[in-house]
């Protein structure tokens, strides 16, 4: 993919039914969360982001506003109940009821098992799973009243595949996918769809062009980008995906479907 194509993914709206809807994105200061914010703003949605680092949130706000989008940011630790409640209150008072919830925030720690601690385990589940529960708890009543809504959890190929490090990360992503299926069945009759996006290796364009990456294990031969993940999110939020719920959509360049890396002939 060329840099020009990447720019189109960020800026070219495809789903007019999203215009005017309200989206809350956790982890919106960096990575996939930032990519989702840029794309949904381009679709004409009113975008709210939260995250732990105010300076990163400000960068996302600047990028969205430069493109003419509507956005608000609130620093928060979504693993804490009081922060979740405050974020929801801020969004609803500024933009109105939440139509789309995208939970992308997560602690990225891939240390070996011997270096894991109980604090890391609990903090990972607080950010990934407790936050998912609390965010849904606050957002779903308004969705049920209006008879529509969307929730997307950003999980990982590591929910069902494994590496040598990051036990807590693997466990959280697996739990999020279980939550996706349960919530989808629970709220389907209320017009609420719940899906998960499972990315593979995702890097920003700066990282891709400045680093020498060994991508021989990826069938498409390269890492993905936040804008490519955001394109999947936009589709899942739109009416073009109206019959999709409870699903985990893998966007991983083919990584999860292979038995061995492309360099190995079986």
| CATH code of the domain covering residue 142 | 3.40.50.720
CA proximity to 87, closest of 78, 96, 100, 95: 78
CB 166 within 8 A of CB 115: no
Which of 106-115, 146-155, 206-215, 230-239 has the lowest average pLDDT? 206-215
Separation of alpha carbons 14 and 119, rounded Å = 43
Residue 46 domain-assigned (yes or no): yes
Is residue 9 in a domain? no
Residue 208 reports pLDDT greater than 90: no
134 pLDDT above the threshold of 50: yes
For residue 213, what are the domain limits?
17-252
Query: Is 33 part of a structural domain of the chain?
Result: yes
**Model confidence, pTM:** 0.92
Active site residue ranges:
169
pLDDT digit string (tens) for 157-168? 999 988 888 999
Give the separation between CA 169 and CA 121, rounded to whole angstroms.
8
Is residue 116 helix, strand or coil?
coil
Q: What 3-state class would DSSP assign to 51? A: strand
In a domain, 171, yes or no: yes
Asked if residue 208 is part of any domain, the answer here is yes
Question: What's the mean pLDDT when you consider all of the chain?
Answer: 92
Any idea which residue has 């804490």 for tokens?
Answer: 80
* Count of structural domains within the chain: 1
Maximum alpha-carbon separation in the chain: 58
SS3 23: strand
Q: Are 26 and 48 in contact (CB under 8 A)?
A: no
Residue-wise pLDDT for 4-41, tens only, equals: 455 656 667 899 999 999 999 999 999 999 999 999 99
Strands 46-51, 149-154: pairing kind: unpaired
Q: Is residue 189 part of a domain?
A: yes
- What is the tens place of the pLDDT at every residue in 73-103? 999 999 999 999 999 999 999 999 999 999 9
Measured CA to CA, the distance from residue 235 to residue 204 in angstroms comes to 21
What mean pLDDT comes out for the span 42-67? 97
User: Comparing C-alpha atoms, which of 70, 69, 24 is closest to residue 51?
Assistant: 24
Q: Looking at the domain assignment, is residue 2 inside a domain?
A: no
Give the neighbor-by-neighbor strand order of the sheet with 22-26.
Answer: 70-75, 46-51, 22-26, 100-103, 149-154, 192-199, 248-251
> Which residue shows structure tokens 């995906």?
241
Q: Per the domain annotation, does 237 fall within a domain?
A: yes
When pLDDT is cut at 50, 70 and 90, the band that residue 212 belongs to is very low
């Amino acid at each position: 993919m060329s840099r020009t194509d990447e720019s189109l993914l960020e800026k070219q709206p495809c789903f007019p039914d999203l215009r005017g809807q309200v989206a809350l994105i956790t982890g919106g200061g960096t990575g996939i969360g930032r990519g989702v914010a840029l794309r949904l703003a381009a679709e004409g949605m009113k975008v709210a982001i939260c995250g732990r680092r105010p300076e990163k949130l400000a960068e996302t706000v600047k990028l969205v506003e430069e493109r003419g989008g509507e956005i608000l940011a609130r620093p928060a630790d979504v693993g804490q109940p009081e922060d979740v409640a405050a974020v929801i209150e801020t969004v609803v008072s500024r933009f109105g009821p939440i139509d789309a919830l995208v939970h992308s925030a997560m602690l990225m720690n891939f240390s070996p098992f011997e270096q894991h601690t109980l604090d890391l385990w609990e903090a990972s589940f607080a950010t990934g799973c407790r936050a998912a529960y609390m965010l849904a708890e606050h957002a779903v009543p308004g969705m049920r009243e209006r008879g529509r809504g969307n929730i997307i959890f950003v999980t990982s190929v590591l929910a069902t595949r494994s590496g040598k490090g990051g036990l807590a990360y693997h466990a959280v992503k697996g739990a999020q996918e279980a939550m996706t299926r349960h919530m989808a069945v629970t709220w389907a009759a209320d017009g609420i769809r719940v899906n998960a996006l499972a990315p593979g290796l995702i890097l920003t364009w700066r990282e891709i062009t400045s680093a020498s990456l060994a991508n021989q294990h990826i069938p498409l031969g390269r890492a993905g980008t936040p804008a490519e993940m955001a394109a999947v999110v936009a589709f899942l939020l739109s009416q073009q995906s109206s019959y999709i719920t409870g699903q985990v959509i893998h966007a991983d360049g083919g990584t999860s479907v292979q038995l061995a890396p492309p360099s190995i002939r079986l």
